[in-house]
Amino acid sequence: MASKVRFTVGSNVWVEDADVAWIDGLVEQVTGDELIIRCTSGKKVTANVSSVYPKDAEAKRCGVEDMTRLAYLHEPGVLHNLKSRYGMNEIYTYTGNILIAVNPFQRLPHLYNNHMMEIYKGAGFGELSPHPFAIADRAYRYMMNYGVSQAILVSGESGAGKTESTKMLMQYLAFMGGKVQSGGRSVQQQVLESNPVLEAFGNAKTVRNNNSSRFGKFVEIQFDQSGKISGAAIRTYLLERSRVCQISDPERNYHCFYMLCSAPAEERERYKLGDPASFHYLNQSNCIKLDGMDDSSEYIATRRAMDIVGISSDEQDAIFRVVAAILHLGNVEFVEGSEADSSVPKDDKSKFHLRTASELFMCDEKALEESLCKRVIATRGESIVKNLDARAAALSRDALARIVYSRLFDWLVNKINTSIGQDPSSKLLIGVLDIYGFESFKTNRCLTGASIMLFVEFD
């Protein structure tokens, strides 16, 4: 709600607009709480004083780097400042120690290279242009100067760029706390390479984002007294399990499924995989390929990242065996069986996928079929086996796929944490929290073609 401001004829104001959210203009007439405003577009509007905000007529055309310097820190003032800076290709803006990022929807590698990290290293907060490196450097300096652990919160709607920005923060902290390694894998290498592994299994294409994290992540980076990284721990939560079995057009399932279907021929043959469009868990959407993303190259890169974080070749094979098994499991269809309310695999195709899934899961085929087509009810002193009809068997199949995938994801995270190792003696920590994207599209999107994200650093 607008504050109670006394407006007079000639006042510069912002008034709500159905098309562009806010439009500026001059007050031409005041009648009690009703204002007649001539907008810069030329049209006249009548508005109640409660929905009108004052405008700073002397605001800089290019905006300000820190919005605490704005004459009026209200919604139209904030959005106008962000829009002005975005028009000047300035995608970062401060509000005190909060960094607001507006997604440019393009790669800007010159903003995130080693040269840029050197520039922000040790610079006073606010001396240079707003940047994620400034937030990370401030957190690092506070930790080292005052011996107080820090946390950085990254929040915003899906597609705002949280995943990429979290990687930038970790990149800078690894730059500041990296150790020269004489051999083997360094902690900072493992921390950074955990990103592509988790993205392969926890990210997917959504309506507005080709690489949306479908889980929350808190990365705790531990430092020794000299400021070097000595350990790390990754905690994940809220994995979107439903996506494994159900996707809508034009979204995709998790990247790893498409990567495996694009693996080298001998690996696809081993897992009995073919065109991803032939699998039920993938073909519910018409989007199979992504522009600018080569699934076969991503598969190789993911395997390489797994090597770095300490996942052995045998473990990698087991991981992808489970991924393939889930795809085959999704192609098992059911029809009515000979008994009342019972079900059986629909045809030879379903039996093939059931058999292949059991081989990949390394379990008995008949036992797998019965676990899908029957339910065991435990009562006091006995167990009752109940048949499931075709619909219930399909639901049981999907439930199994979701649970197995969720357990696989949890295992991956635990394995990465074990490989990286933690430093129990460390008392200096920096945590980076990547909050799950919120998706109220009608209200979140307040700049045409832009998504907004907040970085908040606090001790």
Q: Which residues are catalytic?
A: 158-159, 163, 209, 212-213, 437, 439
In DSSP terms, 45 is beta-bridged to 37
Q: Burial-class residue 422 by CB neighbours within 10 Å (0-12, 13-18, 19+).
A: middle
**Cα dihedral angle (293, 299, 302, 306), rounded to 10 degrees?**
180
Six-digit token string for 7: 């407006």
10 Å Cβ neighbour count for 429? 18
In angstroms, the CA 9 to CA 31 distance is 10
d(CA 432, CA 457): 9
Tokens found for residue 74: 């209200």
Beta-ladder partners of 459: none
Report whether 162 belongs to an annotated binding site: yes
Q: Where are the alpha helices (DSSP H) in 208-251?
A: none
In the chain, the amino acid numbered 191 is V
To the question of whether residue 379 is assigned a binding role by annotation, the answer is: no
In one-letter notation, the amino acid at residue 12 is N
Residue 161 assigned as binding residue: yes
Q: How many CB atoms lie within 10 A of CB 153?
A: 16
Q: For residue 109, what is the enclosing H or E element?
A: none
On whether 160 is known to bind a ligand per the annotation, the reply is yes
**Cα torsion angle, 259, 261, 262, 264, sign:** positive
156 belongs to an annotated ligand binding site = yes
Q: 158: annotated binding-site residue?
A: yes
Other C-beta atoms closer than 10 Å to the C-beta of 33 total 12
233 within 8 A of 204, measured Cβ to Cβ: no
What's the angle, vertex CA 106, arms to CA 169 and CA 302, rounded to 5?
A: 60
Helix (H, G, I), strand (E, B) or coil at 389: coil
CA distance linking residue 59 with residue 51, whole number of Å: 21
Angstrom distance (rounded) from CA 101 to CA 158: 13
Q: Which two three-digit tokens encode residue 106?
A: 């393009």
CB environment 335-369: b (16+ within 10 A), e (fewer): eebeeeebbbbeeeebeebbbbbbbbbeeeeeebb
Is residue 163 a known part of a binding site? yes
Joined tokens for residue 427:
């008392």
Burial zone of 36 (CB within 10 Å; 0-12 exposed, 13-18 middle, 19+ buried): middle
The DSSP letter of residue 278 is G
* Per-residue tokens: 443: 């209200």
Binding residues for ATP: 156-163
- Binding-site residues, in ranges, read 156-163
